Amino acid sequence: MGFQTSFSQFMLLGTFGLSACSPAPAAKPQSPAKVEAIGHETELMQLTLTPDAVQRLGLATQAVRMAAGATLSRTVPGEIVAAPRAGGLPVAAGSDLAALAGLQARADADVSRSMADLKLAQANLNRAASLVEAEAGSIRARDEATQQVAAARAAMAAATRQRQALGQAVAGLGDGGTLWVRAQVPGADLGRINRAAAVQIRPVGSNISIMARPVRGPATATPGAASVDLYFAPAGRAGLRLGERVLVDLAEAGSGRAVALDVPAAAILTDINGGEWVYVETAPRRYERRRVEVARITAGRAMLARGLTGRERVVTAGAAELFGTEFGTK
């Protein structure tokens, strides 16, 4: 019994000795980025980088620039359409031109038929009036002829208005007619737009800017997109083609007295839902993502409608890398 107890104590002492002689575990390497929740916006994080991480990512910052008296504008999509004639509706390239041409042909036939009916009714009235004057006809026949003329004139006016509502003839759309721009403005932004001001039109993929003045167009809208259509007449055709997609810069109401915030366009990040963000340097090597709203981008600069106060520094180089760091560590 004593031998077994001594043997157990010996083995226990040997185990402690081996543990004391083993090397200490290696220290855990320092993480290059520290991510902390900042408590506003869904799942927003605050990033704190090490000096090596800042150098490796090549981060650069720039102070937000404030411009007094700036002209704020909103960019909306637009389409070149054929201007209506005699109060009709504009014709867009997306219309079913074959069906429209058939409707126009039938409407032209209705106008010609009503015109012939009016001429016949007028001739009958003249004949009935002559017979009454010669005391060879009845006054009732003359009155009936008068009513037929009035009915023919009403039918003629209705047929003419129906034809006018169908717009310019499809066959003449490519003959150098007047073009308009149909801008799709979100209904929520309609009250912020200066609808009496001229706009700038920019063809997609081009640096050309064309001035256009507002015109009184039909009350059309796109219910699915919750947008209202505004119409503008460009200064000349300027190489524009029917159906061409353009960008329309709409001036905001009272924008001439606004103080705009200006940042490099490279600082703007867009997520998969269309949200616009920038990274703000809140402290040395500490960055926070902020939501912004871009009014327009010109010459490599982004003018902000809201989101910053003008006292921040935004990340201009390496913003995409910060975006990947933030979401790669979740």
pLDDT, one tens digit per residue, over 264-314 is 888 888 888 778 899 998 888 888 888 888 877 777 788 887 788 878 899
The CATH label, of 1.25.40, 3.40.50, 1.10.287, 1.10.3470, for the domain at 97-167 is 1.10.287
**CATH node for 33-72+256-328:** 2.40.420.20
Tell me which of 250 and 67 has the higher pLDDT. Answer: 250
φ/ψ region of 85 (left if φ > 0, alpha if ψ in -120 to 50, else beta) reads beta
Residue 117 pLDDT? 93
Report the alpha-carbon distance of residue 84 to residue 218 in Å, rounded: 10
Output the pLDDT for position 173: 59
pLDDT of 147 higher than 90: yes
Nearest one of 45, 5, 17 to 326, comparing CA atoms: 45
**Which of 78-87, 138-147, 167-176, 222-231 has the least mean pLDDT?**
167-176
Q: State the Cα torsion 241-247-253-257 to the nearest 10°.
A: -120
pTM reported for the whole predicted model: 0.48
Question: Where residue 155 falls among pLDDT bands split at 50, 70, 90?
Answer: very high
Nearest Cα to Cα of residue 178 among 80, 79, 82: 82
Measured CA to CA, the distance from residue 197 to residue 214 in angstroms comes to: 7
> Is residue 24 scored above 50 in pLDDT?
yes
Report the chain's mean pLDDT, rounded to a whole number. Answer: 78
* Superfamily classification of domain 74-84+176-251: Efflux pump adaptor protein, beta barrel domain (2.40.30.170)
- Pair type for strands 286-298 and 245-251: unpaired
For residues 229, 232, 238, 242, the Cα torsion angle rounded to the nearest 10 degrees is 30
Of the ranges 151-165, 192-206, 252-266, 291-305, which one carries the lowest mean pLDDT score? 252-266
Closest CA to 293 of 303, 282, 280: 303
Return the pLDDT at 80: 85
> 192 vs 22, which has greater pLDDT?
192
Q: Are 291 and 285 in contact (CB under 8 A)?
A: no
Which tens digits make up the pLDDT trace of 46-79? 888 888 888 888 888 888 887 665 566 778 888 8
Percent of the chain with pLDDT over 70: 78
Amino acid in position 13: L
Q: What average pLDDT score do residues 35-44 get? A: 60
Read off the pLDDT of residues 78-134 as tens digits, 9 standing for 90 and up.
888 877 765 556 666 556 667 777 888 898 899 999 999 999 999 999 998 998 888
Delimit the domains of the chain by residue range: 33-72+256-328, 74-84+176-251, 97-167
pLDDT recorded at residue 152: 92
Same fold yes or no, 33-72+256-328 and 74-84+176-251: no
Q: How many CA atoms lie within 13 A of 213 on its CB side?
A: 3
252 close to 196: Cβ distance less than 8 angstroms: no
| 313/277 Cα distance (integer angstroms) | 13
Separation between Cα atoms, residue 169 and residue 175, nearest integer Å: 11
What is the structure's pLDDT at 330?
44
What is 219-271 written as a DSSP string?
A: --EEGGGTEEEEEEEESS-TT--TT-EEEEEEEBTTGGGEEEEEEEGGG-EE-
Contact 32, 49 (CB under 8 A): yes
